[in-house]
A and B are shown apart, each in its own frame.
Chain A
Amino acid sequence: MSAATGTRSISPPTPAAVPAGNAAARKGPRLWPTVAALLRKELLVELRTLESVPAMSLFSLTTFVVFHFALNKGSVEGDLAAGILWVTLLFAAILGVNRLFVADAEEGGFDGFLLAPVERSALLFAKLLTLLAYLLVVELIAVPAFAILLLATPLWPALPGMIATLLLGDLGVAVIGTLVAALAVRTRARDLLGPLLALPLFVPIVIGGARSLAPLLAFAHRSGPSARWLLTLGLYDLVFGLIAYALFDFLLED
């Protein structure tokens, strides 16, 4: 008997390749309406449960308070400030990554999705946008708290460059976080496996994000964000975006 380990179709072939007998195959909605339906569901579930964003925000605030007292300094700046901000945001992101697919895995949402006539990459985009939304909300709370607790001078002049850096970093975190969460969620050790896989992959984001942000937070000699490190962050996002797009269908398979 033929083992089912051979080639597997992960996406519908082109219409020309569809055998005539399959003409009845249902056509579902296109990619972006599916992404919109999934995203709406994700945000509704989060609004009802408040499981991820409050935990991530509270973690960030608590960490800044701990740094405020532990460093025994009135304020930080430059490399140290940028490092503290990025490390805190990445550990907060891990909390969101760990919960990203839990409702789907525990409540059968995966099966419901897999039975529908939709592109499976829609789930990647929806989860990625969900995590990105979580990070942006957390940063709306965490960055002002960071400025109040750990910076000596106003953040306003640095804000445009900071927003660009954070957005590029967030995109990378969202892509890698979604990929890792999809990989870990069907394992018994998902709470451990998620961070173990994600943190090494987040390291280049910490490096790129902190190096890019440091000149903005060097208040004595403030300059714009490092273009070289912004470009590095952008390339890293692109590479992992392509990897996630290529691998995601396989992660949903049995």
Chain B
Amino acid sequence: MPAIELTGLVRRYGERDALSGVDLSLQMGRTLVVFGPNGAGKTTLLRVLATLLRPHEGDVRVLGNAIPEQDWALRGRVGLIAHEPLLYRELTARENLRFHARLHGVGAERVHELLERLAITDRADEPVRTLSRGMVQRVAVARAVLHQPELLLLDEPYANLDPAAVELVAPLIGAGIDSDRPRTRVICSHDPGRGLAEADLVLGLRGGRPALLAQAGAVSTQEIAELYR
């Protein structure tokens, strides 16, 4: 069963089409990487898939559920790393994660585990507003994978991370939830090398319209670079 099926997806902001004519099918456990210049519609696509924005036209099915009619069925099954970390600045990293853990019905031991795995235990009791961008991004990653979602929507997940932090984060947002459960991912990226290495399917957006849709093996970094010209 496809994890994501889009047919003629259109999303507008006022009169402007932020996304238009997007058709694709992504199988369960596969990774779609979306490339495109700023304003191409990448973030809008992620927010539609996350059920945070309604599609204005077209059919959207995520994990077998029609959006927006069955968006309730996706709650708790999707993890989102967005431009904003979705964290309360005045709360500490631990308080933020515990808060989200309570909303997802996840135990405190999972919070503790993630703080350790992402090496933020030492700073876990400081308000998020006092943390560096890289540390905040680590906490945002912990928040997104706290409930072990089947679908991960990642908007530039390695932004602000140093190489050591990338090594900590990468396994958590990898292609498997755990050893025997595959995870479907949609990643927005500006990095052709890393993006193609992670992708099974590549979507290139320009001005809200698909300019490229192909299996990752059939796409060159040169074609990705063309999207930005």
Contact = CB atoms under 8 A, between A and B. Distances in A.
Interface of A: 1-4, 6-9, 11-13, 18-19, 21-22, 24-29, 33-34, 37, 40-41, 44-45, 48-49, 103, 107-109, 111-118, 253-254
Nearest to A46: B90
B76 A26 contact: yes
B80 interface: yes
A10 to B, nearest CB: 8
Given A18-B73, A45-B91, A4 B104 contact: no
B70 A112 contact: no
A115 B78 contact: yes
Given A44-B91, A45-B90, A28 B103 contact: yes
Given A2-B57, A3-B57, A108-B82, A117 B75 contact: yes
A107 B84 contact: yes
A254 B76 contact: no
Interface residues of B, number: 50
A45 B96 CA distance: 11
A107 B88 contact: yes
Contacts of B1: 21
B87 A7 contact: no
Interface in B38-92: 50-59, 63-65, 68-80, 82, 84-91
Contacts of A25: 72-77
Given A21-B64, A107-B87, A111-B86, 20 more contacts: A1-B7, A1-B10, A2-B57, A4-B54, A4-B55, A9-B68, A26-B105, A27-B76, A41-B88, A44-B90, A45-B91, A48-B90, A111-B50, A111-B84, A112-B87, A115-B78, A115-B79, A117-B103, A118-B75, A118-B103
Contact of A9 (B7, B72, B95, B100): B72
> Taking chain B's interface residues, is the majority helix, strand, or loop, or is none over half, making it mixed?
loop
Contacts of A4: 54-57, 68
A253 B53 CA distance: 8
B147 interface: yes
Contacts of B193: none
B104 A28 contact: yes
A114 B51 contact: yes
Contacts of B50: 111, 115
B194 interface: no
Nearest to B147: A26
B75 A108 contact: no
A6 B100 CA distance: 31
Given A1-B10, A116-B104, A108 B87 contact: yes
The 5 closest A-B pairs by CB, nearest first: A26-B76, A117-B76, A116-B103, A108-B86, A37-B102
